[in-house]
Structure 1
Amino acid sequence: MVCPYTWDVPGGVMAHVRDLAEALIADGHHVSVLAPASDDAPLPFYVTSAGRAIPVPYNGSVARLAFGFLSANRVRKWLREGRFDVLHVHEPAVPSVGLLACWAARGPIVATFHASFQRSRAMSVSAPVLHTALEKITGRIAVSDAARKTLVEHLGGDAVLIPNGVTVSRYAEAEPLDGWGPDGGVIGFLGRMDEPRKGLPVLLEAFTKLAPERPGVRLLIAGPGDASDVLAKVPPSLRDRVGVLGMVSEQEKARAYHSVDVFCAPNTHGESFGIVLAEAMAAGAAVLASDIPAFRKVLGEGQAGALFVTGDAASLAREAATLLDDPACRARLAAEARLAVRKYDWSTVARDVVRVYETVTATAVGGVEEEQQGRGLGSDDLAEPAARVPEGARTRGGDPL
């Protein structure tokens, strides 16, 4: 399995790859994961480093990718030594090790597409280059209708729909964090604090509207980013009511979900599923989310969580106030969420992925092999990232992570 994004920084695709790998291993399969990672990064036994990552602006975020001679050599070595029955590449259109793996391999190849976006100049410019890799894929998976639509419109072809998974048992039970609720007034957020599309500025604005009239309202924030930058956006008189945890472990994350009365996902765009929603639902939190299509679907159009107008701080504040004032409504949403999230448990999702593996290997002659030199990965494909990434998706300063 190949993860295009660095293993060093938590993210939706990385979490998907990690949890799928662990679910497959638990079912008795042999799994090896190749991913970008720093040389000194602590890695699970099943992960092999493809080399350090470089930050690249991509799809409204900053993706940390690996692409170059070192990564290409590690891809080939990993393929030679692995002798895999099937190669599963995540986000093969992203200029990282997944794309390199498609170029370097032949045989049964499955690809999972995660991203959702309206237009991509970079994708359009690079389409001819991508085609040489994507034409090798024998099975395609999309994690959501939005991701499937993006695939069809930008790259062509179709995919079977298999949603993101969540390890429900990991979040079902946990003790609240010391000093936190739920006490009827805690609103929670988890995501990259410095990434605008995750919507934290919208939540902070809504909090400044709610807090003056509600002395008991507090805000608990977790995720990568600078705490001082976050607190600078909050009036000084309210800062002691905002807790910023920074990056948290899986155990702390579960405790954070159990420390809030309302979990808020104020994301503004670019989400094809919403794994944080599934995690919060598994924890039995009352969810309040922006009404982007992906979130509406996960929450059953409001059945398993409340919705507010995307990007509208006043709408968020009104809906949060309604939930905080109505414990019965929060309990009902939490109960609906626990039921709705069961279909996303990895015990179900992993079985569907294995069926795709079985389909692509049933008609294949042999397993995954390294492509002969000169046919797949050529010297022009091994240029450093800043030279190969299409215009509009340049590296940010070229500095390594």
Structure 2
Amino acid sequence: MRIGIVCPYSWDVPGGVQFHIRDLAEHLIALGHELSVLAPADDDTPLPPYVVSAGRAVPVPYNGSVARLNFGFLSAARVRRWLHDGAFEVIHIHEPASPSLGLLACWAAQGPIVATFHTSNPRSRAMIAAYPILQPALEKIRARVAVSEYARRTLVEHLGGDAVVIPNGVDVGFFAGAAPEPRWQGTADAPTIGFIGRIDEPRKGLPVLMRALPRILAARPGARLLVAGRGDTEEALSGLPRQLHGQVEFLGMVSDEDKARLLRSVDVYAAPNTGGESFGIILVEAMSAGAPVLASDLDAFRQVLDQGAAGELFPVEDADALADACLRLLGDPDRLAALRETGSRHVRRFDWSVVGAEILSVYETVTDGASRVAADERTGLRARFGGARP
């Protein structure tokens, strides 16, 4: 199958949607499909052979974060050229309602379109206001996918229609098979707590974890916090007593391999996010690696963690509750072992072998439907004109 995938966000700034598209593309290519991804990217960004650059993106505040989007006359021309050259059997657009390549592709595409909605935002006045502009493009979509029930709810409430829920995928074996890194591993007296996310994006919750850290370290003086992600480390430490700074280690941006090793090494993975999450792919990655998960009780996180059966939950933005839950876990080896086992079983549902098959099923449904429509139109034309004579 010839598949075209449209990424709305800049390829050179890592994020959950980009990772999802990358892993989906590589999974489908490994199965033998022909595939091209169109994405914003700076000119000097190294791109995989299956990615086509649509030009440089610009930063735009979006859903509590800053998204790097691509929109305009030049981008529209590149979208049309990519569609023409690709001659795709199906076009898969991610976030078609965002002001980026997805919307441009929706306007320009003629073939069967599948759209995936990632955003969870229950009070988006901007999306409601933009609906009259979006409607003609969105009506061209043959099948809608939402990555979670909360992304589906956002779609239904703001844009109408419905979607099938297919979660983000993870290569479970990649994380499960990673080797722990000795320098990141803890001991009973000196456990390690992991955090991965953009340091300077408040909704990722690092400030909440930093507020909880003094209580954790008071009870567990040998504990360390390992932080992976880009951002201002001095700013991140500003609210922490100076004598505790040495127990926080900033790793900067890490490779996929190091991320897997980190998750395999920590005693607890903390996800103190404060909102704006429609799924929680890092939770699935952590469970795949066997890391016990301690997460804020967001709706999306609760769903990923099987209502709390596969991970520990604490009230959103409650640093004291985070500290209490973390200390309970670190003091209960049996509970940690149970979470590792339950999480490892639960994540099988998110493996690409399952998720990829579900997405391919959607592709096949829309392409089969398009073929039937085309056949019906040909039959109708033959019935009307086939017997005519000059």
Same fold? TM cut 0.5 = yes
**For the residues of structure 1 that align with 2:320 and 2:369, how far apart are their CA atoms?**
56
Give yes or no for contact 1:182–1:258 (8 Å, CA) kept in 2.
no
Query: 1:43-91 CA deviation, whole Å, 9 max, x = no partner?
Result: 1111111111111000001011011122111111111100100000000
Secondary structure at the residue paired with 1:288?
strand
1:356 pairs with 2:362: yes
Q: How does 1:137-148 map to 2 (within 5 A)?
A: 137-148=141-152
Give yes or no for contact 2:172–2:348 (8 Å, CA) kept in 1.
yes
**For the residues of structure 2 that align with 1:114 and 1:362, how far apart are their CA atoms?**
25
- What TM-score, normalized by structure 2, do the two folds share? 0.92
1:110 pairs with 2:114: yes
Q: Which residue of 2 aligns with 1:70?
A: 74
Secondary structure at the residue paired with 2:370?
coil
**For the residues of structure 2 that align with 1:320 and 1:12, how far apart are their CA atoms?**
26
Q: Structure 1 residue 182: deviation in Å?
A: 3.3
Give yes or no for contact 2:185–2:192 (8 Å, CA) kept in 1.
yes
Q: Structure 1 residue 15: deviation in Å?
A: 0.8
Q: Which residue of 1 aligns with 2:11?
A: 7
Q: How does 1:239-254 map to 2 (within 5 A)?
A: 239-254=245-260
**For the residues of structure 2 that align with 1:177 and 1:271, how far apart are their CA atoms?**
29
Give yes or no for contact 2:88–2:111 (8 Å, CA) kept in 1.
no
Q: Structure 1 residue 365: deviation in Å?
A: 4.6
Query: 1:344-390 CA deviation, whole Å, 9 max, x = no partner?
Result: 000110100011111111121599xxxxxxxxxxxxxxxxxxxxxxx
Change (3 A) 1:246 1:14: same
1:342 pairs with 2:348: yes
Q: Which residue of 2 aligns with 1:25?
A: 29
Unaligned ranges ≥5, structure 2: 374-390
Q: Which residue of 2 aligns with 1:225?
A: 231
- What TM-score, normalized by structure 1, do the two folds share? 0.90
**For the residues of structure 2 that align with 1:251 and 1:233, how far apart are their CA atoms?**
31
Secondary structure at the residue paired with 1:284?
coil
Unaligned ranges ≥5, structure 1: 368-401
**For the residues of structure 2 that align with 1:21 and 1:62, how far apart are their CA atoms?**
24
Q: Which residue of 1 aligns with 2:308?
A: 302
Runs of 4+ displaced beyond 3 Å: none
Q: Structure 1 or 2: larger helix share?
A: 2
**Bigger relative contact order (CA 8 A; separation at least 6):** 1
**For the residues of structure 2 that align with 1:339 and 1:142, how far apart are their CA atoms?**
23
Specify the structure having the higher radius of gyration (Cα): 2
**For the residues of structure 1 that align with 2:106 and 2:230, how far apart are their CA atoms?**
31
**For the residues of structure 2 that align with 1:92 and 1:25, how far apart are their CA atoms?**
23
Q: Structure 1 residue 178: deviation in Å?
A: 5.0
- Equivalent residue pairs, number: 368
Structure 2 residue identity aligned to 1:121: R
